[in-house]
Amino acid sequence: MLPVSEPRPMQVATRTDAEPGPAPTFCDLSVIIPIHNEEENVGPLLAELREVLDGTRLDYELLFIDDGSTDQSLERLRAAAAHCPRVVILELRRNFGQTAAIAAGFDYSRGRVIIPMDGDLQNDPRDIPALLAKLEGPPRCDIVSGWRKNRHDRWLTRKVPSSLANALIRKVTGVRIHDFGCTLKVYRREVLEGVSFFSELHRFLPALAVWHGAHITEMEVNHRPRTRGRTKYGLGRTVRVLLDLVTVKFLGTYMTKPLYFFGKLAMWTLILALVLLGVAIGQKYGHFGHPDGLNLNRNVLVPLAALLCSFAVQCVLFGIVAELLVRVYHESRGRPVYRLRHVHHHPGRRPPESSGAR
């Protein structure tokens, strides 16, 4: 059996174990598989992954995250992995959800390249070598997103909502890939550092990474029908995804400049208030359906315009407060508002170092 260890602190950019020790050595590849009640699938999945990855001659690790399973998933996984030193099993205290499970895998991974995938055997491990080749190019990119073009799922409850959601996400985020919901993707480690995970945002990782300057492409992958276990997805998740899309859009467009968002809202509100006030004045002089005139103190448009003006002022104040909070957030975390890909310098010159100024 694999030894059971106590949880360690979760971080993305740096890893710190519960006990002091040397920094972890990196490997070539980390495969992250969240598991929730997949007792019939964990053994065959592990066998397929080892068969495929042993043929690549890469230094790899397999991270299985047990997300509060109530069946025998954990026991069967520990038994199947007892003689495989490349396997790491993270046992969460309860069911935190797929995003949290993937985040735990990212935090504890050592790979320079990270591949999340589902644990239900619908993602095909045999696609991994082709995805890795696509990552290296040419052209070289930072993310390769799997596209389940021939998807084996129910048409009404899975395919139709997914197609509509993907079209909306493409429109809102501007990231032109077909399948945001496919878990099977390949990421370079550096593009994930500093990206926060919460709610159902794992499906928006490509958009968040692209907004941080990552280069993305996609590739068709094999999607297999589920033959064991029960699906954990339903129409309810589509609603949560649409709500998360609002958060993602705000984070991507206005995270460092929230006053722009509230300022635009205030501007359009003020314009509407002025239009309503102009109509009210026109009605006083016999226009807009009131030939006999309508006093301003009896016109409902006047207090409505005043209310909208008050709302516009509040929007500006909200924007100022949000600007202060964003500044405190970035300064407290010591993170710049930019992301570097590489520093180019003359071979005879020492690489420039950041002074810490923002």
Residue 49 CA to residue 283 CA, distance in Å, equals: 75
Within a domain: residue 181?
yes
Same domain flag for 40 and 189: yes
Higher pLDDT, 104 or 339: 104
* Res. 230: pLDDT tops 50: yes
Query: Does 53 lie in the same domain as 131?
Result: yes
Taking residues 9-32, what's their average pLDDT?
57
Domain stop point among 224, 254, 284: 254
Please check whether residue 356 lies inside any domain of the structure. Answer: no
- Whether 138 has a pLDDT exceeding 80, the answer reads yes
CA distance readout (Å), 54 to 19, 49, 125, 127, 199: 32, 8, 12, 14, 35
Domain count, the chain: 2
Residue-wise pLDDT tens digits, 178-190 = 999 899 999 999 9
Q: What is the per-residue pLDDT across 80-115, written as a single tens digit (0 to 9) for each? A: 888 889 999 999 999 988 888 999 999 899 999 999
80 near 49, Cβ under 8 Å?
Answer: no
Is residue 21 a part of any domain in this protein? Answer: no
Q: Name the residue range of residue 115's domain.
A: 27-254
Tally helices (H) and strands (E) across the chain.
10, 7
Within 13 Å, how many C-alpha atoms sit on residue 309's CB side? 11
Confirm whether 10 is domain-assigned: no
When pLDDT is averaged across residues 191-200 and rounded to a whole number, the result is: 73
Please state the pTM of the whole predicted model: 0.75
**Is 340 part of any domain?**
no
